[in-house]
Chain A
């Protein structure tokens, strides 16, 4: 496959490492960020994820994957986790975990859904709900490095209260003339909301996104139907499928 760059080749085994919770940030009513110190962590690229493993008192273990929200420049690693109803792991992470708690983690994983400041072309990020998390690592990385790569974040949430990282994104966009942040609220809008409402559709993508001639690098992340729809529309609008990278959060992400 010639058109795809390899971000990570064959390497050493990914060992399970000890993660200690240093801080917990409440992002929304259903979403928290876990700020972790990880023994022997060797760094990551924006967009990558980790596996975590919890062990119950009876020895039962469960593994799940979570996207990294922090940029490689940060000393601590942040994971942002959404409480999935009926989930096994996320309710514990969001509801029961405290600073000082420990669990196992290994990574970073995934070398394809990755963007760094060395990547050429405008950056087009399209998120649905908690799909913002790996894209936020890219935006934070971009802000830390103070690069002028033109960037767009198109972010679909159910309501204003569900917008993760809302204040940070506002500040980021205010300070950076090369970054556009467009929020759309699908279910409920506050009184006086002048922003977008409803789902991301073809007209919005055509208007907001960098045109295909500029060969933007697009990253689409969110629930499966959201990603299927947006990525199909981008291709219909003339974007080369190889420039559209996707990450889908399945219904059983728990």
Chain B
């Protein structure tokens, strides 16, 4: 549209001004932690949980809960941005960075340029490896110092906070390297393939 129509009488109710460099376009700050997912919350027990790194049909590494907890732990404090417009500032996550996962399987460099995250409940999402390395992505197992609640993706979720939060897949169980990019669940249903909040890449074609 050339010009947005003015809604007379409509005005901002934001009480405090969030610095512009913290809030991507079209987002608003919430203090809650809303929950969004396409189906029932899987009730995974850590006793039966495992996590795998995979390339094609071959297994690069696999960990049970205790083994995964023994990997080097990193804490990330970050803002998160959901495609449904809420942003939450200063969230704290703890887990194992993608870099440390690669080290754990003695990979000097990633096996391919893309990964697909596979989750309990069948959810998938695709992320370029370039967006995971250098401390940008982790498998998080703690939120604000406590185990992540199932509704928020526990026992473990992918965390890629510089992309819209659907990329930070809940209930993640497997990262699979892909030579070619493929679309995951929401990416096949009209959402953007990459999802940069600062470019407002919400939907396909944005």
Contacts and interface: CB of A to CB of B under 8 A. Distances in A.
B122 A1 contact: yes
Contacts, number: 152
Nearest to A108: B190
Band of interface residues on A: 35 or more
Nearest to B7: A54
B41 A231 contact: yes
B38 A6 contact: no
Interface residues of B, number: 47
Q: Would you call the interface of chain B mostly helix, strand, loop, or mixed? A: loop
Nearest to B184: A1
Given A55-B6, A103-B5, A248-B35, A6 B11 contact: no
B203 A109 contact: yes
A1 B124 contact: yes
Interface string A81-122: 000001110001000110001111000011111000000000
A63 B83 CA distance: 11
A14 B189 contact: no
Contacts of A8: 189-190
Interface in B84-136: 84-86, 121-124
A245 interface: yes
A6 B190 CA distance: 10
B32 A110 contact: no
B41 A228 contact: yes
A211 interface: no
B37 interface: yes
B26 interface: yes
A13 B34 contact: no
Given A62-B10, A228-B41, A250-B86, 6 more contacts: A10-B183, A14-B206, A86-B13, A96-B10, A242-B39, A250-B30
Interface of B: 1, 4-14, 26, 28, 30-32, 34-43, 84-86, 121-124, 151, 183, 185-186, 188-190, 193, 202-206
7 contacts: A7-B189, A57-B8, A63-B85, A242-B39, A250-B35, A250-B84, A252-B31
